[in-house]
A and B are shown apart, each in its own frame.
Chain A
Amino acid sequence: MGLFNLGKPQGASPQELLERVRLAEAEAVQKGTQLEGLEELIRHLDEDHEMLLKAAQLFRPGMEAKALGQTLLDICFKPLSLASCFMALVDWDADRIQFPIYHEGGRLRNQTPRPFSEKGGGLTGKAMRSGGPLYIQTLDEGRAEGAIFSEAERVSGLVPQSWYGVPLGLGEGWGERPFGLISYQSFQREAFPESRRRLMDALTAHVAMALKVRP
């Protein structure tokens, strides 16, 4: 029932009128909630859409890993409300992992290359060996899965709760093993819903191709 019926109150008792008002108010609240939900969904979709379009515009062949990583940060750090983000590249034969980009605690940091096999490679090693993305939803889960904490995390105690790592070079067309990983992290627990994880998969796939493209 719409508000229009209130224009014809003849014969209606005060109780009936009150009931109509109550229903109209409930209907308005429901519509308002629906509208807000839809607007929130559109904001979210629009953000995802823009991130993917920007990646297509800004990733260029011949960009070095550091520049690509920085471009990725510029595109997704704020929209995804990230606490940290890094790119790791792995040389399996030399047992070496390096970090062309490592952003945590509000700034870029130098992370020293290290043997990849050290401490099992932490969450990065686990994701790369499994050959698929790894989603850690809480810090406790991260500890149980063998997270390696950075110096800044140990000193500050500020450690992200959610960790999503997507290997670089996943899929039939790539080699046997991924050649790196991008990790997206948040201070929120269970921060990344399914749709956002698919978005991060897509962005990472784009970075992988940009790293290996032959102009």
Chain B
Amino acid sequence: MGLFGFLKAKAPAPEPGRAETQDPAREQAQMEDLRELARHLDEDRALLSGALRDLQPGMAPGELANALFSLCFRPLGLAAFFLALVDWERDALHFPLYHEGGRSRPRPSRRLSESPGLTGQTLAQARPLYLRTLEEGRVFGVVLSEVEKESGLVPQSWYGVPLGADPAWGARPFGVVSFQSFQPDAFTESRLRLMDALGEVLAFALKADPDRPFAGGFDGR
């Protein structure tokens, strides 16, 4: 379902037998709501179009993640963002980009089975994981970074999108992109869908190979 219609659905119907009156305050509020919705949709469209323009095949995973991060950090109001890639054979989780506390930081690889954290949960269930508060995150086994432990500044909302979760990609996802905010329950349903789509674009860019022949071959050959 599109977002349009949301505002109409929200507006109460006039009482039966009574004509709808013109209330300037209500009209003003409705206009403001519409402007806000237009801003929101425009931002989302710009984010998706920007990702499809800037994420190019051949870029290193860290570069791709950084390009996505640059696009969405402000519009999504993020506190932290990372890309994790999993090596299932070696039971290792690598972080080509880990942005927190206002800058990118090196994050050592870790054994997935020893310390799965929220990333491991997202990989295991092969679908997005949304935690709305830090308390919820603790229940799910969040692994806090050194910076988070030292500063006490820990994002409340955590959204992880598995990369390559669809069976067409393979048996298991190959990574996770995580979007985090200091606000509790920061991400609306429409924003979650947007982040899912951004995760898909990132997955395609990570795995696109310009030299690969088309599926089915050229002209059926």
Q: Would you call B197 and A57 a contact (CB within 8 A)?
A: yes
Chain B binding surface SS class? helix
Q: Which residue of A lies closest to B209 (CB)?
A: A214
Residue A14 CB within 8 A of the other chain: no
- In the complex, A215→B163 CA distance in Å? 11
Of residues 94 through 152 on chain B, the ones whose CB sits less than 8 Å from some CB of chain A are: none
Q: Would you call A173 and B27 a contact (CB within 8 A)?
A: no
Selected from B53, B59, B207, B215, the residue in CB contact (under 8 A) with A211 is B215
Number of chain B residues close to chain A: CB under 8 A: 49
| Given the contacts A46-B41, A205-B53, A212 and B214 also touching, CB distance less than 8 Å | yes
Number of chain A residues close to chain B: CB under 8 A: 56
Of residues 179 through 215 on chain A, the ones whose CB sits less than 8 Å from some CB of chain B are: 198-199, 201-203, 205-206, 208-215
Residue B56 CB within 8 A of the other chain: yes
Chain A binding surface SS class? helix
B38 neighbours in A (Cβ, 8 Å): 38, 41-42, 45
| Given the contacts A52-B45, A212-B57, A205 and B52 also touching, CB distance less than 8 Å | yes
B56 neighbours in A (Cβ, 8 Å): 171-174
| Given the contacts A49-B2, A52-B49, A171-B56, A34 and B204 also touching, CB distance less than 8 Å | no
B198 neighbours in A (Cβ, 8 Å): 56
Residue A108 CB within 8 A of the other chain: no
B168 neighbours in A (Cβ, 8 Å): 60-63, 215
- In the complex, A211→B216 CA distance in Å? 10
- In the complex, A3→B22 CA distance in Å? 9
Q: Which residue of A lies closest to B42 (CB)?
A: A45
Selected from A43, A50, A113, A209, the residue in CB contact (under 8 A) with B57 is A209
Q: Which residue of A lies closest to B25 (CB)?
A: A2
A205 neighbours in B (Cβ, 8 Å): 52-53
Q: Would you call A63 and B4 a contact (CB within 8 A)?
A: no
Q: Which residue of A lies closest to B206 (CB)?
A: A213
Residue A96 CB within 8 A of the other chain: yes
Residue B153 CB within 8 A of the other chain: no
Residue A153 CB within 8 A of the other chain: no
Q: Would you call A209 and B41 a contact (CB within 8 A)?
A: no
Q: Which residue of B lies closest to A3 (CB)?
A: B22
A38 neighbours in B (Cβ, 8 Å): 31, 34-35, 38
Binding site for A on B (CB under 8 A): 2-4, 22, 24, 27, 30-31, 34-35, 37-38, 41-42, 44-45, 48-49, 52-53, 56-59, 164, 166, 168-170, 193-194, 196-198, 200-201, 204-205, 207-212, 214-216, 218-219
Can you name 6 A-B pairs with beta carbons within 8 Å? A43-B4, A46-B41, A61-B169, A63-B215, A64-B214, A213-B209
3 shortest A-B CB distances, which residue pairs?
A173-B56, A56-B197, A173-B58
